[in-house]
Structure 1
Amino acid sequence: SGGSFFAHPAIDEVDNDELFTKFQQLLEDFGHLGRVHREATADGVVDEHERANLERIANDMHRRIQELLALTWRIY
């Protein structure tokens, strides 16, 4: 259906440290996306493989953001 789905962890397994880790991972994802984007656009053309790679990274980031929000709602 085009969605991103993941299992919610049990509430007793998560805390603020887990949220902090998710934020750190997301920041790393942004850096990775920036590098891959720069490389993909360097020649003035984004080919099919580069586009698929950029979309995969963006989808992973979207999933991580949704996980982070879900954890926040469960903790707070």
Structure 2
Amino acid sequence: MGNEPEWKVDKQPTWLVAAIKKTITDLPGGYSEAAEWIGVTENSLFNRLRSEGDQIFPLGWAMVLQRAGGSHQIADAVARNSNGVFVPLADVDDVDNGDINQRLMESVEWIGKHSQYIRKATADGVIDAEERAQIEEHSYQVMAKWQEHLTLLFRVFCAPEKSDAREYAAPGALAKNSTLCMEK
């Protein structure tokens, strides 16, 4: 087992534990509220989040807590550690052009923050660990907001496989020709 890659033998990675702990501490009642949501004792939660413990925190519990807190920290952590980006999907019935444009503006704002920070971080010719973490966070936010924008844009203005986009879209050129959104 000593020759195995770290990711292969790590039954409960520290990044996942950190995301679960953050999800719990963000609940208004913290660990006591989390224990109520799951139906276990606080000690049971602590035991499953110990770094050298013999128990693991069930993914189902983590998802219940994430939903209870209205966050997506665990999904973000899994996406990041899978070299991806988590993109929450809004209910299309609650989306209008303003929401789509808002996601675009948020992406542009994150690009601006990212650009300013890159200048600052590279001014001395070296990116240290703290700067790298900040750059990765900014990059993740840029990608997530951009994907949210694109996802909403296409979900609202493109025809679903067995429907017509005109049902969902405001009048306009895109809504009139549903073949514009088809993949080639």
> What TM-score, normalized to structure 2?
0.39
Identity of aligned residues (%): 34
2:153 to 47, 58, 72: 72
Higher relative helix content: 1
Paired position in structure 2 for 1:57: 138
1:3 Cα shift?
A: 2.2
In the TM superposition, what whole-angstrom CA distance separates every residue of 1:40-61 from its partner, at most 9, and x where no partner exists?
A: 0111111111011101110111
CA distance in structure 2 between the aligned counterparts of 1:63 and 1:37, rounded to whole angstroms: 18
Q: Count matched residues.
A: 76
CA distance in structure 2 between the aligned counterparts of 1:50 and 1:57, rounded to whole angstroms: 11
Q: Is the 8 A contact 2:100 2:153 kept in 1?
A: yes
Q: Is the 8 A contact 2:103 2:149 kept in 1?
A: yes
CA distance in structure 2 between the aligned counterparts of 1:49 and 1:10, rounded to whole angstroms: 36
1:19 Cα shift?
A: 1.2
> What TM-score, normalized to structure 1?
0.89
**Partner AA of 1:41 in structure 2:** T
Q: Is the 8 A contact 2:88 2:148 kept in 1?
A: no
CA distance in structure 2 between the aligned counterparts of 1:61 and 1:7, rounded to whole angstroms: 14
CA distance in structure 2 between the aligned counterparts of 1:39 and 1:47, rounded to whole angstroms: 12
Provide runs of 4+ in structure 1 moved above 3 Å: none
RCO higher in structure (CA 8 A, sep ≥6): 1
Rg bigger for which structure?
2
Paired position in structure 2 for 1:36: 117
CA distance in structure 2 between the aligned counterparts of 1:31 and 1:8, rounded to whole angstroms: 24
